[in-house]
Structure formats: structure tokens, C-alpha cells
Amino acid sequence: MYFGHVGDSRAYRIRAGHIEQLTRDHSLQNEPFPNMTEAERQELPRNVITRALGMDGTVNVDLTAADMLIGDVFLLCSDGLSSMVTDEAILASSRPRPT
């Protein structure tokens, strides 16, 4: 599977009871600032994105490849979900419920 990604909406793959974030948010916290410590990076605002559609005439799109197996679940979500719900809660809600 291939998908393009810009901004802070995320793609996840759930496989064999594990969740994996397949995209990297294009946010101020994730930009490479080589002289900044991890503690300083965590102080940066989380909601400031550095790439988005419409910010400029062109945008650099990340292209990601992900392998697929039978039983995999792929989740595409907005930042409204990923900023409010933990990966563990997303994983728990994806598990089949007894009938």
C-alpha cells in the first residue's frame, strides 16, 4: 500500500494486536532542530504544523509504503482523534468484541 501524507492527520496499522503509527506529524515538535534537547523540544507547541495543503502554492508530500497482510487494519484519522485518544485506546477499540 502507498499513501501520501501532509500535516498532522495520521495513518496507523494494527497488526496482530499491535498498533504502529505509519506517518510522522509535520509539526514544530518533529522538525529537526539539532541544537535542541528533547526536553526543550517537548516545550514546543504541539499543534503548530509545518506542512499543510493550502499553506503555499506547492507542498512537499511524504510518500509512504506499507506492506499488507490478511487481517491488518489501517486507520486514517484526523488530529482531533490522535490528540485526544491514546494509541492504546485506539488499539483497544479495534479489538473484536464478544457476541
* pLDDT 10s digits, 22-33: 998 888 877 777
CATH numbers and ranges of domains, the chain: 2-94 (3.60.40.10)
Cβ contact 51:33 at 8 Å? no
DSSP string, 21-90: E-S---BGGGS--TT--HHHHHHS-TT-BS--TTSSSS---EEEE----TT-EEEEE-HHHHTTS-HHHH
- Would you state the pLDDT for residue 82? 67
* pLDDT 10s digits, 7-51: 888 899 999 999 999 998 888 877 777 788 888 878 888 778 888
